[in-house]
Structure 1
Amino acid sequence: MLVKRIASYLTLALLASATAEARQSPVTVAERFFTPIDTQSNVDSIAVWHGPDSEERLLIATSKAAHKLYVYDAKNGFPISQFGTPGSELGQFLRPNGIASADDFLFVVERDNHRVQILRLPDFTPLTSFGSEELIKPYGIYLRKIAEGSFQAYVSDDYNKVLPGEKPEPNPAGIRKRVKRFQIVINGQGVDTKLINAFGEHEGPHALDVVESLMGDEASGKLMVADEDEQHGLEIHVFDLEGNDTGKRLGQGTFQFQPEGIALWETIAGKGYWIFTDQGKQANHYHVYDRKNLSYRGTFSGERTLNTDGVAIDLKPTARYPMGVFYGIHDDCGVSAWSIADISKELQLR
């Protein structure tokens, strides 16, 4: 009986090791520049916007503590301006978190206003908001462009810790969904929005337990959703863009801390890499996976950067950064920037 029991334990151990990935030691890639440090800002997520002038590039960060947006020059991190005040009117924010841009539109997720606000760039003109009827504690956003003026917004809704007296769950059947998918049409008549569907189970074998970051890939039809739960998560769930769970999981045995910001590094002909943040306060890593076959390719860290929440990538080349720039939040108080060419060289990716 004892022999059978030992054999059973060995079998389970082998199965567990087979599903875990072989993680490499991280290589260090030096940051190229930093934004000014503001220890009171509690910045979370970032987006990049390109102006009609090829030299005009804005790096925009959400500040959860100040309830505003910090605006920097994306080429060097120099501060340009700040936008917003605390409140629930358009142009105001309550704990802004996720952020995404497409064309001249900026989408800002507000956890404590239970909504997504749309602004027009570069003047930050408020247009409208949506999601207040469907969202409870929204955090992250993936913005998908469908056509000119037509978008889909995938918003993570993490409401495990809803307290008594807070906004109740809107689903009368009690079926919790972790990602809400909206349609947005912006034209000369205004802005139309509607909920398309909701997906991502809260319970069961495919549950998403603690969700914030998500990012999609139009070419492959994949949507990556990070699960930060320390007991059942620490992995990436792979969905399709309609919200169907493929059953594929990434990062099992690779993530040491919390899966956070996600960036898609596109190269040529549908090739490229995914960058997944492994957020830690003493050690902070970025895991790189192949875009097509989702194989693990390596891990890098910065020299100074810690505790990264959101990330962003700008692949438009400049003389100084011919392959583009990767940005990551540094310890809730600033933004770090890396040359994509440096990352590629150190990980021997191209």
Structure 2
Amino acid sequence: MNSSTPMRPTVCVSVLVPVLLALSACATPEAPRASDPSTPLVERAPDRREPDEHAGADPLLSRAGIAHQVVEEAFVTPATPRDNIDSPAVWRAPNGRLWLLATAKQGGALTIYDGDDGRAVGRFGREGDALGEFRRPNGIAVLGDLAFVVERDNRRVQVLSLSMPAATSRAVGVADTRAPRLRALMSFGQQQLQQPYGLWVRALGPQQLEVIVTDAYMAGEDADGNEIPPPLAQLGRRMQRYRLQLGAGAPVAQHVAAFGDTSAAGAIRVPESIWGDPAHDRLLIAEEDLATGTAVRDYTLDGRYRGQTIGQDLFKAQAEGIALWQCEDGSGYWIATDQFKDRSVFHVFDRASLRHLGAFAGKTVGNTDGVWLQQNGSVRFPNGVFYAVHDDQAVGAFDWRDVARALGLRSRCSG
């Protein structure tokens, strides 16, 4: 659709109810370059079931009875089903262009798209355990000119630099066909992480970052092949905290601590998505365990459960990707995903009070894992854009102006 065309939101209600450890910074020559997006993928054997996957019928929004607004996607990227796309993140280049990166769990790579139109422009990486290679890449985050990729099967977080190659022409009217250049710098976490999935990255200072990684280590499988969460007493290491020092060379990482609540109310039995809000001393962590009740736990930044779980009466499928729209005055909105197979629902909460403000769904996007909210906009999306993975094979984009209009939210922080 044309993102500048005003939309008329549709209200839908379904009628059916149903000691610090310093880690070495492994520098490397420039890793494999992004390749043509049409390059054939190598066939892979079926992967093992993930902790949040269970045998049985898929939950459908059409049968859930959840009130929501319908917001049409600005675009959905080309589908690559064999990639098993999991999570997106965006790099905003110095010239203001948005580049959308997505992890390909089966492809062992990152897919790269133009963030304004969804056009596939390349791939980075291949299957393997060297720097610049990936095994089951899952969560991804971008901060500044660095990308952080969680690899479940390499049990690490890989750090990549992002840059643009020099322009080949400065002539007026010549299309700029450059794509981002990625280079692997180092990895960390191998000595602590067992089955990592999601992460959140923030700046602590000009040259220091903090990275919190969720770790879905399990206690085996049941007769149906479903992974079994450990006993409560063993869930105190669900999140691992690291500190990265930046400098002239590759970053240097330190393991700081592990944390996780072990009470019945506050424990995270099946973790993946996590996001933080320093202004409100808050970490929101998705609990994906269906047996306990899927919802979002509210923790402090130092890793203490606040005694509050949000969405226990809202999430009917599975809590997944989390994002934050924020303003300097402390106001804003949380967005949390409910992963219905046919169409995902995105619940919106007040940033400070966590009061539920409404929900929206697209016309296409469903079965969403990761999401990314790009608040600094572009020519196509001047007020920002919300990206959500579609059914393990593509990424959908929602113009923030359309979301704000549909739910009566602010489209920008001021003015």
TM-score, normalised with respect to structure 2: 0.74
Q: Which residue of 1 aligns with 2:285?
A: 225
Q: Which residue of 1 aligns with 2:68?
A: 26
Write the letter of the residue equivalent to 1:151.
Answer: L
Percent identity (aligned): 39
Aligned with 1:321 (options 344, 365, 381):
381
Aligned with 1:125 (options 163, 167, 183):
183
Q: Which residue of 1 aligns with 2:82?
A: 40
Within 2, Cα distance between the matches of 1:318 and 1:204? Answer: 44
Write the letter of the residue equivalent to 1:72.
Answer: Y
Q: Which residue of 2 aligns with 1:272?
A: 332
> Could you tell me how far 1:194 is from its partner in structure 2?
1.2
Long gaps (5+) in structure 1: 1-22, 164-172
Q: Which residue of 2 aligns with 1:208?
A: 268
> Could you tell me how far 1:196 is from its partner in structure 2?
1.3
Output aligned runs, 1:122-271, within 5 Å: 122=163, 123-162=181-220, 176-201=236-261, 204-271=264-331
Within 1, Cα distance between the matches of 2:120 and 2:377? Answer: 21
Higher strand share: 1
Within 2, Cα distance between the matches of 1:28 and 1:225? Answer: 26
Within 1, Cα distance between the matches of 2:400 and 2:319? Answer: 21
Change (3 A) 1:161 1:304: farther
Within 2, Cα distance between the matches of 1:207 and 1:233? Answer: 12
Change (3 A) 1:174 1:29: closer
Within 2, Cα distance between the matches of 1:84 and 1:40? Answer: 16
3-state SS of 1:93 partner: coil
Change (3 A) 1:86 1:209: same
Q: Which residue of 1 aligns with 2:151?
A: 110
Within 2, Cα distance between the matches of 1:33 and 1:175? Answer: 40
Change (3 A) 1:190 1:349: closer
> Could you tell me how far 1:189 is from its partner in structure 2?
4.7
Are residues 1:94 and 2:135 paired? yes
Q: Which residue of 2 aligns with 1:170?
A: none
Greater alpha carbon shift after TM alignment, 143-152 vs 63-72: 143-152
- Is the CA contact 1:316–1:323 (under 8 Å) kept in the aligned structure 2? yes
1:268-310 deviation digits (Å, cap 9, x = unpaired): 5111100000001134200000001110000100001110000
Are residues 1:70 and 2:128 paired? no
Within 1, Cα distance between the matches of 2:290 and 2:245? Answer: 38
> Could you tell me how far 1:220 is from its partner in structure 2?
1.3
3-state SS of 2:130 partner: coil
Change (3 A) 1:242 1:176: closer
Q: Which residue of 2 aligns with 1:85?
A: 126
Are residues 1:345 and 2:386 paired? no
Within 2, Cα distance between the matches of 1:177 and 1:326? Answer: 31
- The alignment yields a C-alpha RMSD, in angstroms, of 1.8
- Is the CA contact 1:177–1:202 (under 8 Å) kept in the aligned structure 2? no
- Is the CA contact 1:314–1:324 (under 8 Å) kept in the aligned structure 2? yes
3-state SS of 1:206 partner: coil
1:198-217 deviation digits (Å, cap 9, x = unpaired): 11135644211110000001
> Could you tell me how far 1:191 is from its partner in structure 2?
2.1
Within 1, Cα distance between the matches of 2:191 and 2:98? Answer: 34
Within 1, Cα distance between the matches of 2:251 and 2:388? Answer: 31
Long gaps (5+) in structure 2: 1-64, 164-180, 222-232, 411-415
3-state SS of 1:346 partner: helix
Write the letter of the residue equivalent to 1:160.
Answer: M
Change (3 A) 1:41 1:190: closer
> Could you tell me how far 1:42 is from its partner in structure 2?
0.4
Write the letter of the residue equivalent to 1:235.
Answer: A
Q: Which residue of 2 aligns with 1:16?
A: none
1:169-214 deviation digits (Å, cap 9, x = unpaired): xxxx966411111101121254221111111135644211110000
Provide the aligned length of Structure 1 versus Structure 2: 319
1:51-93 deviation digits (Å, cap 9, x = unpaired): 1112x22100000001100011111111111011111110000
Within 1, Cα distance between the matches of 2:354 and 2:94? Answer: 35
- Is the CA contact 2:112–2:121 (under 8 Å) kept in the aligned structure 1? yes
Within 2, Cα distance between the matches of 1:274 and 1:320? Answer: 23
- Is the CA contact 1:273–1:291 (under 8 Å) kept in the aligned structure 2? yes
TM-score, normalised with respect to structure 1: 0.87
> Could you tell me how far 1:238 is from its partner in structure 2?
0.7
- Is the CA contact 1:181–1:195 (under 8 Å) kept in the aligned structure 2? yes
> Could you tell me how far 1:344 is from its partner in structure 2?
0.7
Within 1, Cα distance between the matches of 2:193 and 2:246? Answer: 21
- Is the CA contact 2:265–2:307 (under 8 Å) kept in the aligned structure 1? no
Q: Which residue of 2 aligns with 1:17?
A: none
Write the letter of the residue equivalent to 1:44.
Answer: D
Output aligned runs, 1:303-314, within 5 Å: 303-314=363-374
Within 2, Cα distance between the matches of 1:255 and 1:136? Answer: 28
Within 1, Cα distance between the matches of 2:236 and 2:135? Answer: 24
> Could you tell me how far 1:105 is from its partner in structure 2?
0.7
- Is the CA contact 1:51–1:57 (under 8 Å) kept in the aligned structure 2? yes
